[in-house]
Copies of this chain bind each other. A is one copy, B any other.
Amino acid sequence: MNLREGHIAIAVDAMGGDFAPAAVVEGALDALAAAPGRFAILLVGVQESIERELARFSGRTAALRSSGALQVVHAPEVIAMDDQPNAALKTKRNSSIGVGLALHRDGTAQAFVSAGNTGAVLSASTLILGRIRGVGRPTIGALIPTAQTPCLLVDAGANVDCRPRHLYEFGVMGSAYVGAMLGKDRPAVGLLSIGEEETKGNEASLQAFALLKASELNFIGNVEGRDILKGAADVVVCDGFVGNILLKFGESVPGFFKAKFLRYASRGILNKAVALVARRGMRTVMKELDYQEHGGVPLLGVNGVSIIGHGGSTPKAVKNMILRADEMVERRVNQNIEATLHALPDGAS
């Protein structure tokens, strides 16, 4: 296999995540196997550690390395999962995150993927890649399951205090992403609030409502907490404070039912049987919530493609993150965002 001209290269943070570098290296090889010849991978990190992991797969790596489809780029420093993001970025200038993003900025790579320290990847991506023209606040979206197709909750926690203009931008970026990546034509954008009526909301959401209404988006108005899982909107806009709380609450629901089922099961043998079956059924239903399947969340609004993965990313999750990065480059999500933001009515801020 030879890498052809014009193909995409993806910089992968080999040191990012709880199971790095082992899980990242394995996931990268799986991604190359899943889409042979489509993209090259640059594994960025402590060379010695990466080579040690690669040695475990020597049978698979020889051809990939000689074709250039798999390269190792040394970055001597590692930002730990619990490092304070901005401090770490200042003191560890040659981290895998910094070096990987620089490769993307310089055009050596067309995307960057990391399961490392979320705050650091977020800050460094904005700093190194810069923002798309018109974007005040890059954002992280999270795909959540609904009774219909999944919807993108945006912002998922990157921006805590938001002005109306920021909420509007989240709608634009979310719509562009869902449109391009999930193949939705004119995704339905809803503003998360406390009532359907235009007059219901807090100060920021009421003003954001007006901006979204005046935009070219397919804005369906306010959606309430109860509408999300029904699939009322393809994109649900909120600030990162609400988004983070809601997502973490949602993540805790299966554990809550598990605890309840266990208590229920303790009340007799028949209950036990019912609880067992119920939990099995629920697990099956919950599978689509599995972050490994959708592999990471996109950082939207930066001049480039930067995918942030779960700290606990497995090889499968890493593989899917890489495949998603490749897709995001192909589908030109950022061009779409820039075009929509330019259509904003004057004077909105």
Tell me if A249 and B226 are in contact (CB < 8 A): yes
Report the separation of the CA atoms of residues A205 and B253 in the bound assembly, to the nearest whole angstrom. 24
Pick the contact of A256: B146, B264, B275, B280 (CB < 8 A): B146
| Interface: A134 (CB within 8 A) | no
Stretch at the interface among A24-32, A236-244, A338-346: A236-244
Tell me if B256 and A147 are in contact (CB < 8 A): yes
Report the separation of the CA atoms of residues A82 and B251 in the bound assembly, to the nearest whole angstrom. 34
Tell me if A249 and B228 are in contact (CB < 8 A): yes
Within 8 A of B (CB), among A276-293: 277-282, 284-285
Tell me if A249 and B229 are in contact (CB < 8 A): yes
Tell me if A245 and B257 are in contact (CB < 8 A): no
Chain A contact patch, size range: 35 or more
Report the separation of the CA atoms of residues A264 and B288 in the bound assembly, to the nearest whole angstrom. 12
- Chain B residue at minimum C-beta to C-beta distance from A241: B202
CB distance from A279 to the nearest CB of B (A): 8
Tell me if B242 and A230 are in contact (CB < 8 A): no
Report the separation of the CA atoms of residues A282 and B244 in the bound assembly, to the nearest whole angstrom. 26
CB distance from A135 to the nearest CB of B (A): 21
CB distance from A250 to the nearest CB of B (A): 7
Tell me if A249 and B225 are in contact (CB < 8 A): yes
Chain B residue numbers with a CB within 8 Å of A146 are 256
Report the separation of the CA atoms of residues A282 and B249 in the bound assembly, to the nearest whole angstrom. 18
Pick the contact of A277: B161, B229, B242, B274 (CB < 8 A): B274
Pick the contact of A257: B226, B242, B282 (CB < 8 A): B282
| Interface: A247 (CB within 8 A) | yes
Tell me if A284 and B255 are in contact (CB < 8 A): no
Tell me if A246 and B246 are in contact (CB < 8 A): yes
Interface centre among A193, A194, A246, A259 (most CB of B within 10 A): A194
Chain B residue numbers with a CB within 8 Å of A193 are 241, 245
Pick the contact of A226: B192, B202, B252 (CB < 8 A): B252
Within 8 A of B (CB), among A143-202: 146-147, 157, 160-161, 192-194, 201-202
- Interface contacts beyond A193-B241, A245-B246: sample of 13 additional A-B pairs, CB < 8 Å, sorted by A: A147-B260, A194-B241, A194-B245, A225-B252, A226-B249, A226-B252, A229-B252, A238-B245, A246-B249, A260-B285, A264-B284, A274-B277, A277-B277
